[in-house]
Structures are given as C-alpha cells and as structure tokens.
Structure 1
C-alpha cells in the first residue's frame, strides 16, 4: 500500500478513513477538496488543479480521498495500487451528511476546506447524492473490478466495516 485512492458518495467517511490511514501508515494525505477548492470556497482553476493532481500522482506515496473531475478520478484509479470504495447505503450517507451539517454549525468539520460554507457544502452534497445512482451503480462496479485486477480493492459497505478497516487491514 503506497498509492491509495479512497472514494465513494458524499458523507461516506472518506476523509475520516483517509486521515486514520495516513496517521497509521505515514503516507502523505492529499484531500481532494483542498486541491479542488480555494480558501474562499471557490473552485481552483482547472489547469492548476490538473497540475497539482499530476504532481501528487507522480510521487512515490500518497492517499487521495474524494472524487473531483471525472478524468482525474479515473487517472487516480489507474495510478493507485490500493482502491478503497466506500459504498454505504444511501440513507446512511444522507444521515452522515446531515450529522456533519449539524456539527458543522458549531465547529468546522475536520478537513473542511477553509473558507467554505458548511451549509452550502451540505446542500451540494445532497444534490450530488440525488445524482449518485447514475454513477455509483452495477456498471461502475464492473468497471472497477476490471480496472483493479492488478491492484488491491476494498469495498466497504457498512459503518461497522468502515470503523474496523484500519485496525483490521493496517499493521502499525
């Protein structure tokens, strides 16, 4: 495990898992949100994002959590040696997005892009969740399985599996 792509629907625990992985393994973490958004919460110019993304992909070790532009997502999956797909049920993702909002009204969520509105981000997460079945579906799973033939693929389908992942799969 040297190049790790962590991905899934909004509110699935990608950032939390990625931080835990980075802490235990010492692999540098590159949250995609910090590459995609400026401190003001506005999108980074696409060319600048692509350059930053390529720099990370060409390094020896990395963890990247998130989705981002589609082309970059597939480049990341191709470059990674370890793929972690968090595929929680939709109601769980909606609940976790809502829980993040409620907590975020008092304290900015850890790893949240500086200057970004938690309310606006939550509304965007709800919007993306409504569209997710168009992408995160059986066709994607088939493509992922084909793409991962020479990689380690983990598919996490419950909060319990998510909570056990680091202790069960990573030795300190």
Structure 2
C-alpha cells in the first residue's frame, strides 16, 4: 500500500514526476487540478472538491499531485505514507511554466491539466501563484513539515537534475 503526496510550487514538475511514478509503480494518479476545475476553467464548488478528495484518500493506494485547499493539503499529508516536496529554485519554476506554455501551443493540454482548460489562463495563474509562493513555501513551512513528518518517507527535490533522476 502506497499513498504518495507530490507537492511544490507551480511549474516545479509535479505532474511529470507523478506520471512517471504512477507508471513505474502501477499506482493510480490523481491530479488536484483535474478535480479542482471544471472543463470550462471554473473552480468546482468546495463541497464537490472535498468529496472527490476524500474519496481518493479512502483508497488503498494513490499518487496525488498538487496543493489543493490548505485544509485538504494537510489532511492529505496525514494520510500519505510518502511525501515528495519539489522545491526547485524560483527561476527554474518560472522557466518550466514558460516551457509548458510554449509546449501548450502544440499539444492539446499539458499533463495534469483539466480537459478544456486554457493554457494562457493557467499560465498566468501559475505566474501569479509563483509570485506569492514565498509566503507559503518558506523556512516556516519546512519546519512545520519536519515536525509533522514522523513515520513518513520524505523526499525533498531541490534541483532539476535530481527531479529528472528521481525514482521510488
């Protein structure tokens, strides 16, 4: 039984890594963006999101990538056996968001994105969230995670080369 939470800033490679781990370990992948948004790009009602999220948590194994709401994030961490925190430098994350935008001009939708969502709107939202990220992804967050990580396998990925080589 593996329950894996993959989280980090926008554009950090969560979806790509989660997809790779899902295939390699034969564990179902759930992207929070796909349960957070309707196909037209609107956010789903919080009650609908919570119901979907809790249903996933009740399964025997899963990989969940993304942050979601803060209360669901902490609930997910409590339920997960394995935490994978992707903490790439900000410039790398900005580049990966930009790369995803450029690739989105040629592919139907980026990996982990809801069907029908706008690559431009999603990219602009990612840039806004990256700008705000230091308020959440900081030393206080890491200390809090260290305090809550007893009994968990925790991986922190801090470089693009580590991300590309990472396996479970």
Q: Tell me the TM-score normalised to structure 2 length.
A: 0.97
SS in structure 1 of the partner of residue 110 of structure 2: coil
SS in structure 2 of the partner of residue 160 of structure 1: helix
**Where does structure 1 lack aligned partners over 5 or more consecutive residues?**
none
* Matched residue, 2:138: 137
Task: Tell me, yes or no, if structure 1 residue 13 matches structure 2 residue 16.
Answer: no
CA drift of 1:119 comes to 0.3
1 CA distance for matches of 2:23 and 2:6? 15
The correspondence of residues 146-165 of structure 1 with structure 2, limited to 5 A, is 146-165=147-166
Task: Tell me, yes or no, if structure 1 residue 125 matches structure 2 residue 126.
Answer: yes
* Matched residue, 1:85: 85
* Matched residue, 2:44: 44
2 CA distance for matches of 1:110 and 1:165? 18
Aligned CA RMSD, in angstroms, stands at 0.9
2 CA distance for matches of 1:34 and 1:140? 25
Which aligned segments of 4 or more residues in structure 1 are displaced greater than 3 angstroms?
none
**Where does structure 2 lack aligned partners over 5 or more consecutive residues?**
none
2 CA distance for matches of 1:68 and 1:48? 13
Q: How many residues align?
A: 167
SS in structure 2 of the partner of residue 7 of structure 1: strand
1 CA distance for matches of 2:61 and 2:13? 21
CA drift of 1:146 comes to 1.0
Task: Tell me, yes or no, if structure 1 residue 109 matches structure 2 residue 110.
Answer: yes
SS in structure 1 of the partner of residue 132 of structure 2: helix
